[in-house]
Amino acid sequence: MTRIFCCMGWVPMGTETRARVLLFSFSVTASPYFRERIMTNKIYALVGPHASGKTVLLGKLMQLGIHYIPLYTTRTPGKIDSDAKFYRFVSKAEFFKQDFVVHVTYKGDYYGILKKDILSALQEHKISLVMLEANGVKQLARLLKENFETIFLMVDYVTLVERMIRLGHKNNEIKYHLEYAENNSEFDNWKDAAHVVKLKSAADPGTAFDQILAIMGLMQLLPPEKLKECVQ
């Protein structure tokens, strides 16, 4: 099946530089570039401080069918219904019975990724996603090497506060999360990341979503009704 992709870039035109829309029409399954780009199965980790948009972006990526490796944790389930998509909540006794490839402590709770889930992801999925804090990411990077890349979500203070307010956090909770991120150098984790994506809006993560798709070698398919918008 042939799909239409739209890519916008700045193209030199004589002495001027102006925006030009390039349209590509090809079969996804037949594209040599597409096949070559994802032949090496890879795991991508989304990293960022609390309320940086990790679960929002993960949810959108999972809707495209991209595989997600769940986190096992001893923390209390949150108020957000989507938590169940990303976490497996267990007791401490259950947690330490599991065979984790990596496990870390974050804000007093334990988090881990099962060895069998990592092996399954690398064997069965071209692209997989995971969400871990910095120490866990470093452990996975040492183990997986070229099969692992990190994507840091860079968010300014204003956007973080806006997101926390939208999540229903109270002032003391917002203060705690910001101080925790500052004291634990969470804003500096971009220095160790393979990729950095800036989230500019608390309400609209669309640009960051598109950038992550580009990082993973994927392109957002445009339905026919959206094609007109690209050429105007």
Q: Which domain holds residue 218?
A: 2-231
* Measured distance CA(102)–CA(111) in Å, rounded: 8
Longest pairwise C-alpha distance within the chain: 69
Tell whether the model's pLDDT for residue 48 goes beyond 90.
yes
**CATH code of the domain covering residue 24:** 3.40.50.300
> What is the per-residue pLDDT for 144?
92
> What is the per-residue pLDDT for 228?
45
For 61-106, the pLDDT digits (tens) are 999 899 999 999 999 887 654 567 899 999 999 999 999 999 898 8
Tell whether the model's pLDDT for residue 159 goes beyond 70.
yes
Tell whether the model's pLDDT for residue 174 goes beyond 60.
yes
> What is the per-residue pLDDT for 106?
84
For residue 202, name the pLDDT band (cuts at 50, 70, 90).
Answer: low
* Measured distance CA(198)–CA(216) in Å, rounded: 16
* Measured distance CA(225)–CA(84) in Å, rounded: 34
Tell whether the model's pLDDT for residue 1 goes beyond 80.
no
Average pLDDT, the chain: 77
**Do residues 55 and 86 make contact, with C-beta atoms less than 8 angstroms apart?**
yes
Percent share of the chain, pLDDT over 90: 47
Question: What average pLDDT does this structure show over 161-174?
Answer: 91
**Do residues 206 and 163 make contact, with C-beta atoms less than 8 angstroms apart?**
no
Cα of first residue to Cα of last residue in the chain, in angstroms, is: 26
Tell whether the model's pLDDT for residue 18 goes beyond 70.
no
> What is the per-residue pLDDT for 120?
94
How many structural domains does the chain have?
Answer: 1
Question: What average pLDDT does this structure show over 25-32?
Answer: 34
| Residue with the larger pLDDT of the pair 221 and 150 | 150
* Measured distance CA(154)–CA(108) in Å, rounded: 24
